[in-house]
Amino acid sequence: MTKEELMRKAIELSTENVANGGGPFGAVIARNGEIIATGTNRVTASCDPTAHAEVSTIRAAAAKLGTFDLSGCEIYTSCEPCPMCLGAIYWARLDKMYYGNNKTDAKNIGFDDSFIYDEIALKPADRKLPSEILLHNEAIKAFEAWTKKDDKIAY
């Protein structure tokens, strides 16, 4: 399939998802023009705030391919990803991302992620979500164990 056909599939998924009670977001992961996985936004349907189209599609592609490393694949998403999905796309090591609508389009229909981008730039103490370090001396032991582990799989 061409990149335009793959993007049209993501857009089609987003439109169908609206008709089926979901959010207006769809995504496709492909390798060499072949669809590996698709997904839609199922946040309200599954009561899962992480069930965005991109994350759902990454999970499905990783499961199908049996790897967390999706190098060699591309993602086509109906909208520019939110900060969570963008992070997941980077962690999945996708080669390229294509998107239809941009974050301003999303903001204009009530999906405004700008506050998250603003919060990320702040020091934790200055964010709206109260947070503090707790039991650091105990938590660091897992990191120390990881550092010493010879057979770890880096990701």
**Residues marked as catalytic:** 54
**Nearest one of 23, 2, 12 to 100, comparing CA atoms:** 12
- Residue 93's nearest CA partner among 65, 53, 116 is 65
Nearest to 111 by CA among 17, 11, 15, 23: 23
CA distance 118 to 122: 7
3-class SS letters over 31-83: ECCEEEEEEECCHHHHCCCCCCHHHHHHHHHHHHHCCCCCCCCEEEEEECCCH
